[in-house]
Each structure stands twice: as C-alpha cells, then as structure tokens.
Amino acid sequence: MEELIHKIQTSDNLLETLNKLGDELREEHNRAAIHAHLPTLIPQFSKFLLQPLPKLHLETLRVVINVLANSDANRDFFTDPQDSHVRGFWDVIAGSRVADMDDVTKFVFIMLGQFIYDAAHKLRYVAYLYDVGVVRAVCDMITEETWRDIGEFVYEALAGREMRSGRDREFLRLVVDMRVDEEEEEGEGEDEEDEEMGSVWVDLIGLNKPSNEIYNKVLEVIPAKNSSLIKRKLFALASELAVDESLTAAIDVISTTSDSYVFAACCITIGNCIYDKPTFEATRTAVDNQLGIAKLAALYFDKNKVSDVVQIQSIHMWTNLLDTRAAQEITTSYQSQLLAITKIVLDNSDYYKEITALYFKFIKKLIRLSGDHKSMPSNLVEFILDNDKAQQQEVVIELKYLLLQLYPEQYAGLVGDVVQSVNTRNVLEQLKTVAIVNNALRDGTIKLDKLEEAYLVPLGRVLSQLLTQLDTQGNETWEFKAFQNNLKYVAATTLGLVEEGNSDLVDTCNRIIERS
C-alpha cells in the first residue's frame, strides 16, 4: 500500500493506482495504516476532484469512501476544524456537487453516509459538515429522485442542530410536498426500502415547528400513502404539528374525510385543545357551531370505520369533550358501536397497553356521566367484565372500583375482586372502594352469603400488607398522609363487620388505627 500512496503523491498512473488503493482499503488494517498519510493525501484528493475528469472523480471518491468506512479515527481527521486542507476538501465537495444526479454525485452521497452509520461521533461529524456548507449544498440537491440516497444524512444533520437557519426552516417547510415513498411494483425489496425512506421523510417533516400550514399538508398527504407504517407516523405527527388555529381545520376535515387515519388525527387535535374548563368551553362551542355534537358522534361511531387499532387513540377526543349531554347521546345511540370498538381494544390489549388504558379512561368517564345505573351502558360493562383477562387486570380492576363506588348494590359480585391483592399502582382508589363496600355491607345495601370467605379473609391479607407499608414508610408527604388516613378509615369500618373469632383481622385493624 505504501507504493500506491507514493504513486498518488506523484500522480503516477492515477486511475489504476486509485483503483488498487480502493481495493486495498477494504481491509481494516489498511484503513488504520493509511491514517498517518491523510495529511498529504487529502490535498491530492482535492486536486483530483477539481479536474474535469469524471472517472478520476469516481476513483478518488471510492478511495475516500473506503478510508472512512468503519473508521472513527479517519472520520475524525476528515472533520478536523483546525486542518485547512480538510476544509479545502469539503469546499470542493460543497462547491462542485450541484449538478444533476449522476454517478459522481451518488458516490458523494455514499461518502457522506459514512459519517452517520456506525459512527461514534455522528453528531460532531454532521455539525462540522453543516458548518462547512456541505449540508446546505446537499439540501439544495434534494429531489424525489435523490432522496433515497441522501435523505437520511440530511435528517441526521438537521435533527442534530439546536438552532436552524431561515434556509433550513424553508427547506423543512417544503419537504412535506415531496413524494418520496411511493411504492413500486418491482418487488418486495423495493417496497421495504421505499417504506424505510418514507419513514425518514416523516421524521424530517417532524423537525418543522408546529404550524397550521404544515398540519394541513400532513392531513392532505396521508390518504395518498399506501404503507400503514407511513400512515401511522403521519397520523402521530399531525397532532404534534397542530396549533390553536388547527382546531377549526380539524373540525372541517373531520366532516369530509374518508381516510380513517386523517379522521383519527383530527379527533386527537380536537381533544388536545382541551386542558381546562375555559378550553373545554371554547372547544365545545367551536364543535357545536361548526358541526354539532350529535353530528360528530354520528361521524365517529357510524361513518368512520377503524382500520388500525392505533386509530382508537382518537377516543382521547371524547374523553376530553364529554359532558352529560354527549355521554347520553353516545350511550343512547351507539352501544353496539361501542361494543365493537371495545372488542378491538381487548383483543389487542397485549400489544397496545397504552391504547387500552386510554380507552378505559373514556369508558370510566362515560359511566360517571351517564347519570344513573339505568342510563349506564350496562351491556358494554358486562361485555368487559365477561372478557376480563389477566392482561387487562390493571385497567379492568379500576373499572370495578368505579362500578362499586357508584353502584355497589348492582355490582356486589365484584366485591371479592377488589381485595385479592394490594394495588401498588393506585392504592388510594382501592382503599376508597373498600371503604364504600364496607359501609354498603354494614347498612345492608350489599349482602354476601359467605362474607368471611369471600371478602374478610382476603381483605385481612391486604390490610396486613398495607400495615407493613405503614410501618416501613413513615414519611410525611401528602401522599403518605392520604394513604395513612384512608387506611385507618378502612380499618375502622372493617371492625364493624368482623365477627368474634377473627382475632388476626381485629388485631391488624387495631394496629392500623393506633399507628400515629
């Protein structure tokens, strides 16, 4: 390899020499050995690239690509801000690569890719290439044809910057208009590659600051996409790009779109506009003025058809938008549709736990706002309870708490379920429920044939574990004091249910009460 390097420095038979050196640099030990020669080789590379000889450009770039491959030491040298020859090399690259896509340009793109793949100092590398103008030059070359070769590099370069220039922001604003992930018919491999590059395209759009313009453009492009992955990413991105003005757009689009991802994205936008009482009132007024709550419910539960479980995140809109009127509209007119959505949620709960939790938050609010047990979606509740599995235990147990708190007489059969174990995630809600059950048992609202076996024995085990927590925690936070007070109340109400002979439970309750 030393002889080849010498020939390059003397410009001896350049094309053949560069070709052989490129071959040699496939070996890791040669990539390490050439590092010491880079100070003298880089000026030669710049000189070769300035000559109007495309074949010389290709061989030179092939050498540089292999120098950089899997070598952070060589990448470090090629991004040394103190080296004027390195800067000169990149000035040549930035200044000359503005022509149409050709083989030389593709090699430049491959070379730039070496700085982001398996690179220990990727952020430093792309920051340097941004500062020397290479990223800007590449952005000027981005088209639907070049995207596949350089799109990921551009994303990494711009994503790593805390401050972006006006030209960067303008470039990002225009990216959404590019068509970079259209599926081809050549075969499965091409489709997978298209999908991967389309995913990077969505990530690049996501670097935009929220704006109604970009939000609307994202909604417009979703229906044209064939890939469910790309649709999912655009659907998630839309809500992140929405601003206050997007509420009006979302309500308008929701009434006309036939794309279920667009519909779900608009619902989430509406839901996100609500975070306190004033925003609830403002959003509800906007919905009533532009559409009407009954029409919105009809669109959601009748016209729109869920084609992907992630679209059920749109239920967030109803969780925030619900009031007594809306709850009655839904429970009166759409119980069969609710059952269908609930089945999808439960069937997929193993893999979509966050969506399951989000959906059950809506169900609990719907039950609270139903007004009374007769108005409650009882068929829906029974379906959930009949299909309870270990996978849904966390969300279903919270539903059982609510049912016992509101309607202990109607759901007395759930009493034993709430004392099977300590709910470490929400012990205060568990204690609140047990206290209500205790009072219902004491005043006769609930009657259990086997009170001791079905309820008091498992309750004793739960209280014993909670007593241990009470003894070991001993802090004075608000949460601990609430836990302590609720536990004492449960212990006191439990004593009123205990018959003679259950000395362990009596002792546990007394120790809880005596705990200062």
Asked if 118 and 74 sit in the same domain, the reply is yes
Domain presence at residue 226: yes
pLDDT at 184: 47
Cα distances (Å, whole numbers) of residue 157 to 61, 76, 162, 290: 21, 16, 11, 42
Domain presence at residue 153: yes
Which two three-digit tokens encode residue 325?
């009127």
CATH number, domain at 127? Answer: 1.25.10.10
Whole-angstrom distance, CA of residue 364 vs CA of residue 397: 11
pLDDT at 98: 47
Residues in the chain: 516
Asked if 465 and 355 sit in the same domain, the reply is no
Instruction: Report the number of distinct structural domains present in the chain.
Output: 3
- What's the mean pLDDT when you consider all of the chain? 91
Asked if 417 and 381 sit in the same domain, the reply is no
Contacts of 117 by beta carbon, 8 Å cutoff, 6+ apart: none
Which two three-digit tokens encode residue 180?
């970079």
Q: If pLDDT is split at 50, 70 and 90, which confidence band does 185 have?
A: very low
Whole-angstrom distance, CA of residue 118 vs CA of residue 158: 18
Whole-angstrom distance, CA of residue 48 vs CA of residue 57: 7
Domain presence at residue 392: no
Asked if 326 and 360 sit in the same domain, the reply is yes
Whole-angstrom distance, CA of residue 164 vs CA of residue 158: 8
Question: What range does the domain containing 37 cover?
Answer: 1-179
DSSP collapsed to 3 states, 184-228: CCCCHHHHHHHHHHHHHHHHHHCCCCCCHHHHHHHHHHHHHCCCH
Asked if 152 and 5 sit in the same domain, the reply is yes
Q: Which of 158, 179, 200 is the last residue of a domain?
A: 179
pLDDT at 473: 73
100, pLDDT greater than 60: no
Domain presence at residue 504: yes
pLDDT at 441: 95
Q: Mean pLDDT across the stretch 131-146?
A: 91
Domain presence at residue 403: no
Q: Let me know: does 231 contact 250? Beta carbons within 8 Å.
A: no
Asked if 436 and 352 sit in the same domain, the reply is no
Q: Mean pLDDT across the stretch 162-190?
A: 76
Q: What is the pLDDT of residues 36-56, one digit of tens each?
A: 999 999 999 999 999 999 999
Asked if 123 and 249 sit in the same domain, the reply is no
* 420-426-427-430 Cα dihedral, nearest 10 degrees: -60
Domain presence at residue 398: no
Q: Let me know: does 411 contact 373? Beta carbons within 8 Å.
A: no
Contacts of 451 by beta carbon, 8 Å cutoff, 6+ apart: 441, 497
Asked if 363 and 443 sit in the same domain, the reply is no
Instruction: Tell which wins on pLDDT, 194 or 274.
Output: 274
Asked if 164 and 227 sit in the same domain, the reply is no
Q: What is the pLDDT of residues 280-319, one digit of tens each?
A: 999 999 999 999 999 999 999 999 999 999 999 999 999 9
* Rounded percentage of the chain residues whose pLDDT exceeds 90: 78
Asked if 92 and 219 sit in the same domain, the reply is no
Q: Which of 369, 387, 405 is the last residue of a domain?
A: 387
Residue 174 has φ and ψ, to the nearest 5°, of -85, -15
Domain presence at residue 193: no
Domain presence at residue 2: yes
